[in-house]
Structure 1
Amino acid sequence: MTIPGTFYNHGTQNELYTIHRAARLVGLPVHEITTAISNGTLAVNEVSGCKCVTLADLMDFVRGEK
């Protein structure tokens, strides 16, 4: 079953989440995720026209490691 807003890259084995889904996943407002992308803290990947972040980068951001 596919969860909307979730992508998987089989080449790099990265799980990717759209910005809206990522914010809901970690319980942060969307503007905090977009601010982190704007200031270069989170890298953005584009998948099928959607702006996404990797799960690993997202977890590092939440833990304060980025």
Structure 2
Amino acid sequence: MVKHESKHIYTKPNGEKEIITLSVKEVSHILGKHPNTIYTWIQQGLIPVIDINGRKYIPKKEFERKFFIK
């Protein structure tokens, strides 16, 4: 399993933490695809992305909805 690399974690009012973004590396691991494939899909608009300081992050909830992952 890939260690979560994202620093984008939301703390709910009850103190529970929720991961809100995934890195390209994490998505490639989840889908079993090479990171270059994920970047291609991002460029094609198949995977939503947020660009923060030149790094690509995938919104976790949108990714799960798009790829039927839970």
RMSD of Structure 2 on Structure 1 (CA): 2.7
Aligned partner of residue 45 in structure 2, secondary structure: coil
Give the structure with the larger helix fraction: 1
Q: Which has the higher contact order (CA 8 A, sep 6+)?
A: 1
Q: TM-score, normalised on structure 1?
A: 0.59
The answer on whether the counterparts of 2:48 and 2:63 sit within 8 Å (CA) in structure 1 is no
Question: In 2, distance between residues paired with 1:19 and 1:30?
Answer: 6
Q: TM-score, normalised on structure 2?
A: 0.56
In structure 1, the partner of 2:6 is 6
List runs of 5+ in structure 2 lacking aligned partners.
11-17
The alignment-based identity, stated in percent, is 14
- The structure having more radius of gyration, on CA atoms, is 2
Instruction: Quote the offset at 1:48 in angstroms.
Output: 5.4
Point out 4+ residue stretches in structure 1 off by more than 2 angstroms. 6-10, 46-50, 56-63
